[in-house]
Amino acid sequence: MEEPRESHVLILPFPAHGHIKPMLCLAKLLAAAGLRVTFLNTHHNHRRILPRSPSSSPSSLLRFESISDGLPDDHPRSLELIEELLLSIKTAMKAHLREFLLSKSAEPPVTCIIADGIMSIGIDVAEELSISAISFRTFSACCLWTNFCIPTLMHEGKLPFSDDDLDKEFHGLPGAEGLLRRRDLPSICRSQIESCSFRYFLDETFAMTRACALILNTFDALEAPMVSHLATIFSNVYTIGPLHALAIQSSVGHFSGRSESVGSLRIEDRSCMMWLDSQASRSVVYVSFGSLVKITVDQLMEFWHGLVNCGRPFLWVLREDAIAGEEEESARSLLSELKLTSERRCVVDWAPQEEVLAHPAVGGFLTHSGWNSTLESIAAGIPMICWPQLGDRQINSWCVSEVWKIGLDMKDTCDRSTVETMVRILTEDNKEEIMRSMTRISGLSSDSVGPDGSSSKNLERLIENIRMIDRTS
């Protein structure tokens, strides 16, 4: 009788910071459970993450490999040139993935591919080679369900919008009735339906249904209605979030003894932690717009004056490449001037965000509403001011303010007066009301990753089902 094959999971993230981080958390959890795991990055990101990842690997069962994304080394891979990256993924990178899986680099043979929800090349190649595929969507269940509803909304004439009034109420999204406005929908709904990016992201959404299961970085108590809708599309749905908290709970992603956060592609400036140590409890506003968003000089100065005028100390993550439309030298000069640390402010290029949010001095988070940041803020119990710019973030911020009531929504505006007002509301005027909601939601998050929590149980179920794939193949 033939021996069952050894479980070997290949994890294929979309080549961006916000996608790599949760998928690497999952890779560490699977390896800690005894599964052999290969984490397959692009060469470009492999070089950035490799020096810091192996030292924090839970075991030798986790291996880091890479393939080309098909773009030249000097390509900026920026948001402005996203369509070039998307095209290269569908063509050159797909061919490199097939070649990798057929090579000795994939020994023992891969038995299951967990592909990012916008990396359907993983499902394509898995089907060609008779390998099981699971889709992992790295943003909210709410946003994913909205994307699945887009064709119906287009058929009903609700998309694209008939005029430019983004404050008009939007009806027809099952599970999101109520205070939803056009501007609260994911940014894809504002796109031209003829555009390459619109077609790519919509096609990728429906390609996910060819996978045998869906993994979501969320927890049941947070998004139960949306998860229920998705369960009508996928026969197996595994809600295993917040993944970073599950990794900490499982001792494969703890703070102590590591130099970088799990999956970080940037060098963290830990001097901000010493600055936080000097601040009063819950006094600091933490500001970060993530790894991709760029802001103009005018927006930068509005945020700056709003934060200064509110009178609260603030810690701001301001990347060197964060300023749009400026000459490199003048942008660098401006950033150098702003990054002069004082008693009331600290500005760094990148920060260990999970540790920052867990610090007792932090009392609020001005965020771009990326899903990782949203979950990290929930896990830490820190209320949010949301300034979303793209992707899933518009609907994330709506959930934060209108559904969960754990923060404020400041989308599509950033004048200094509004910034100052929002900070004061979050930290003073409505502080108790928002904190009551946040304490409840944060407690549910903690319960979900506990030993008997829904996310912990769902992870166990996922691991067992991956092993079942190998026994039945």
Question: How much is the CA Rg of the chain, to the nearest whole Å?
Answer: 22
What b/e sequence results for 325-344 when a residue is b if at least 16 CB atoms lie within 10 Å of its CB, and e otherwise? ebeeeebeebbeeebeeeee
Contact indicator for 241, 455 with CB cutoff of 8 Å: yes
**Residue 116 bears catalytic tag:** yes
CA angle 25, 28, 30 (to 5 degrees): 110
Q: What is the DSSP string of 210-254?
A: GSS-EEESS-HHHHHHHHHHHTTT-S-EEE---HHHHHHHTTSS-
- Could you give the CA distance from residue 126 to residue 284 in angstroms, rounded to a whole number? 48
**Residue 220 bears catalytic tag:** no
- Could you give the CA distance from residue 366 to residue 408 in angstroms, rounded to a whole number? 9
Q: Which two tokens stand for residue 310?
A: 């509110």
- Could you give the CA distance from residue 376 to residue 160 in angstroms, rounded to a whole number? 33
Q: Which two tokens stand for residue 210?
A: 């060819």
Phi-psi region of 294 (alpha: psi -120 to 50; beta: other; left: phi over 0): beta
Catalytic, out of 8, 44, 69, 116: 116
Strands (DSSP E) found in 128-279: 132-137, 214-216, 237-239
Catalytic, out of 8, 17, 19, 244: 19
Please report how the helices 220-230 and 454-472 are oriented relative to each other, as an axis angle in degrees rounded to 10.
40
Tell whether the torsion through CA atoms of 411, 415, 416 and 422 is positive or negative: negative
Strand order across the beta sheet in which 237-239 lies: 62-67, 36-42, 8-12, 112-116, 132-137, 214-216, 237-239
Q: Which residues are catalytic?
A: 19, 116
